[in-house]
A and B are shown apart, each in its own frame.
Chain A
Amino acid sequence: MASCRWPWRRCCSWRPAARSPRPGSPGRAGPPGPPSAADAGAQMSYFNLVKSLTSAFPNRYSMSRFHHTTSAACCCSKTRSGEKYTDPFKLGWRDLNGLYEDIRKELLISTAELKEMSEYYFDGKGKAFRPIIVVLMARACNIHHNNSRDVQASQRSIALIAEMIHTASLVHDDVIDDASSRRGKHTVNKIWGEKKAVLAGDLILSAASIALARIGNTAVISILTQVIEDLVRGEFLQLGSKENENERFAHYLEKTFKKTASLIANSCKAVSVLGCPDPVVHEIAYQYGKNVGIAFQLIDDVLDFTSCSDQMGKPTSADLKLGLATGPVLFACQQFPEMNAMIMRRFRLPGDVDRARQYVLQSDGVQQTTYLAQRYCHEAVREISKLRPSPERDALIQLSEIVLTRDK
């Protein structure tokens, strides 16, 4: 394991201390600064990252040298010749101009305060990761199907709906977790109270459902209502816990799928259904979304240990404090069985959270989880590579790598 040189490590050489899993590491090197400066800094380095990926372009698929060679049946080795390489977020945003304004239009209600609460997170400061994937997938599927260079209005709607469902679940999760901050600002429940926060979440969900119904496609409605159910079941899975060590990991992955990946997988599937009649393509879209989604969450769980709170916009060791044993913890437990007792009592005793964190940082839990995330990304890339080449398809490939290398 130690001999593996994770690709992101190479690319991250410009930020020496941040990713080091050494215990007691101060985290991000450099001045914390006000959030906007940090954001700007992160964005700059993010673009640098993109450039370094550009140069690594022909070697991208050599990530597979860790596992097995990509099958020759796919056309993944070709890209559009002469296409200028662009940042997937920029590429996606071309279709998402006015995303937040449009979402706010769906939340047009007369009650001023409720409207304000519901709009609170649609301020343009979120990552909009899900809408980006959705529109890129829409284009990739449309091009694959009939070389169409358009995005249908209904497909763009799915991007809005996905972001709304996601936000509604965040609002409720914050009340459930009694969270005080998110995306660098106070949570809805802290400002307006729990009662109203729950209603705001319900409102956003109802607005998303109305928008979904207006698309007028019953298959798409079925696909996305599955997400709503999965989100709730995921929360329930998180409420309960498995005593058996062996079941814990399966439980963790299932919860990860339901809480995070299901939305991405099913949104991808929905746009592919709208763009293309071929069920093979729907499955490719679904698998891409599912694998990227799981990887995304795994890295999120890693960042909870390796990042510091300024960068994330929310406090870290948040999962431990909630009693949740995520990937790094579960892997660490294999090396340090004394963690079992803490896991079972959900880190409730004083000192548990810190001790657990130390164990994790001393173990290879972070590395193992990252490696697992890479494998999911690789699978996502393998799937999406089956589509006809296009800038959007390549952007999706690149996105899966960005998932691995992000720092917030």
Chain B
Amino acid sequence: MSLRQLLLRLPRYLGVSGSPRRLWWSPSLDTISSVGSWRGQSSRSPAHWNQVVSEAEKIVGYPTSFMSLRCLLSDELSNIALQVRKLVGTQHPLLTTARGLVHDSRHNLQLRGLVVLLISKAAGPSSMNTSCQNYDMVSGIYSCQRSLAEITELIHTALLVHRGIVNLNELQSSDGPLKDMQFGNKIAILSGDFLLANACNGLALLQNTKVVELLASALMDLVQGVYHENSTSAKENHITEDIGISAWKKQTFLSHGALLAKSCQAAMELAKHDADVQDMAFQYGKHMAMSHKINSDLQPFIKEKTSDSMAFNLNSAPVVLHQEFLGRDLWIKQIGEAQEKGRLDYAKLRETIKAGKGVTSAIDLCRYHGNKALEALQSFPPSEARSALENIVFAVTRFS
């Protein structure tokens, strides 16, 4: 089965109960304030999320051109696949990334592309400008917009792969032979570059310099965002970076929001929508991505597993907020108290954080962004696609 086929069928395998969409669409202002009170299945169950995704896919006409077919069938990709196989048995992160891309049924798999397609459909053709009339449209989406969705995923995946590069001078004997890591790095760089080159070519084919500029600047933002992540995730450093939540938001915009926001805007530009529409699309993308990230950060603190000593990211939203409330000195003291013989007891630290205000304010922040995203959507006419976009927001802001 090809990679693409696998990606498309995965959500369906997980079961779609097909409850009527009408329940999800609630009119006007109720929606805006009711992000936290929407009834329905718990968003923590995978079935729910996948339901949202699969319904969305139906609306955009089962995207058949995700992960550009041309790209998938190329010699280079089979070359890459062969090389990645050689990494089986090593500890290079690329293997994890590759596995994640193929097997991961979690919602962050193709989210960006799907959102771009949905917003393209939700906006529809531009009423003002009729110059797009000779573009072909399938399921209410122009082929250039579909292309853009692919390009967005290509850029995201490229950086995902580049994130997995290993610093050779930090290797320990437990990481395995040096040459495996060197080889893994080599393949990771080439694969990432290959995906970026495909993205660039795709952008060139769109024949729209403004879109190229938008996506190129999104790439620049993403690189900076990934850079920040790298800098703050040093293994030995148990201490949260001394940043407040506003700096955190800026960095998170770079690493998670920019690509989606600018892609959504670019989709509007392709259909020749005016600046206001473009801005609304940007706002939706930005806020939705932020709430999605905060949701992801909250998972270790929301899940009910009691004896969970799994590590969590100390630069995630709840922890950064916790530190901000407490002040840095007290936070460092708490970390010290949670340390035993130099090793951090994550379970204990988790309880400490849960006892504070970090988690609840992170939930509030998540809902704040969710509401901003919904506000932005109001300027789009009601439609299936718009509902699907709203459902996505509801899904990432549910915490019960």
Residues of A within 8 A of B (CB): 109-111, 113-114, 172, 175-176, 178, 193-196, 198-199, 202-203, 205-207, 209-210, 212-218, 221-222, 225-226, 228-229, 231-233, 235-236, 239-240
Specify the chain B residue showing the minimal Cβ separation from A233.
B76
Q: A193 CA to B188 CA in the complex, in Å? A: 15
Q: A214 CA to B214 CA in the complex, in Å? A: 10
Residues of chain A lying within 8 A (CB to CB) of residue B228 = 111
State whether B224 touches A213 (Cβ < 8 A): no
Q: B206-222, CB under 8 A of A: which get 1 and which 0?
A: 01111011001101100
Within 8 Å by CB of B208, from A196, A218, A236, lies: A218
State whether A210 touches B213 (Cβ < 8 A): yes
Q: A233 CA to B79 CA in the complex, in Å? A: 11
Residues of chain B lying within 8 A (CB to CB) of residue A176 = 185-186, 189-190
State whether B190 touches A203 (Cβ < 8 A): no
State whether A199 touches B226 (Cβ < 8 A): yes
State whether A198 touches B165 (Cβ < 8 A): yes
Residues of chain B lying within 8 A (CB to CB) of residue A113 = 231
Within 8 Å by CB of B209, from A203, A206, A213, lies: A213
Within 8 Å by CB of A218, from B196, B204, B220, lies: B204
State whether B216 touches A172 (Cβ < 8 A): no
Specify the chain A residue showing the minimal Cβ separation from B230.
A195
Residues of chain A lying within 8 A (CB to CB) of residue B339 = none
Q: Do A175 and B185 contact each other (CB < 8 Å), given the known contacts A199-B226, A203-B220? A: yes
Within 8 Å by CB of A228, from B182, B197, B213, lies: B197
Q: Is the interface of B mostly helix, strand, loop or mixed?
A: helix
Residues of chain B lying within 8 A (CB to CB) of residue A194 = 165-168, 185
Q: A225 CA to B151 CA in the complex, in Å? A: 14
Within 8 Å by CB of A206, from B188, B192, B223, lies: B223
Is B340 part of the binding interface, using a Cβ–Cβ cutoff of 8 Å? no
Q: A240 CA to B205 CA in the complex, in Å? A: 29
Residues of chain B lying within 8 A (CB to CB) of residue A172 = 189, 193
Sort A-B residue pairs by CB-CB distance and give the 6 closest, nearest first: A209-B216, A213-B213, A213-B212, A206-B220, A193-B167, A206-B219
16 interchain pairs, CB-CB under 8 A: A114-B227, A172-B189, A176-B185, A176-B189, A195-B166, A199-B223, A199-B230, A207-B220, A212-B216, A213-B209, A218-B204, A218-B208, A222-B205, A229-B197, A229-B198, A239-B79
State whether A195 touches B216 (Cβ < 8 A): no
Q: A196 CA to B234 CA in the complex, in Å? A: 13
Is B326 part of the binding interface, using a Cβ–Cβ cutoff of 8 Å? no
| Most chain B Cβ neighbours within 10 Å, of A202, A225, A229, A231 | A202
Q: Do A229 and B200 contact each other (CB < 8 Å), given the known contacts A194-B168, A236-B76? A: yes
Is B129 part of the binding interface, using a Cβ–Cβ cutoff of 8 Å? no
Within 8 Å by CB of A175, from B189, B197, B208, lies: B189
State whether B193 touches A209 (Cβ < 8 A): no
Q: A150 CA to B223 CA in the complex, in Å? A: 37
Is B309 part of the binding interface, using a Cβ–Cβ cutoff of 8 Å? no
Residues of chain B lying within 8 A (CB to CB) of residue A195 = 165-167, 230
Is B201 part of the binding interface, using a Cβ–Cβ cutoff of 8 Å? yes
Within 8 Å by CB of B212, from A175, A199, A205, A221, lies: A221
B174 to chain A, nearest CB (A): 19
A72 to chain B, nearest CB (A): 40
Is B159 part of the binding interface, using a Cβ–Cβ cutoff of 8 Å? yes
Q: A198 CA to B162 CA in the complex, in Å? A: 7
Residues of chain B lying within 8 A (CB to CB) of residue A210 = 213, 216-217, 220
Residues of chain B lying within 8 A (CB to CB) of residue A236 = 76, 79, 190, 194
A6 to chain B, nearest CB (A): 37
Specify the chain B residue showing the minimal Cβ separation from A189.
B168
5 new A-B contacts, CB < 8 A, other than A114-B223, A218-B207, are A195-B167, A202-B192, A218-B204, A221-B204, A239-B83
A15 to chain B, nearest CB (A): 38
Residues of chain B lying within 8 A (CB to CB) of residue A178 = 168, 182
Specify the chain A residue showing the minimal Cβ separation from B162.
A198
State whether B162 touches A212 (Cβ < 8 A): no
Residues of chain B lying within 8 A (CB to CB) of residue A226 = 201, 204
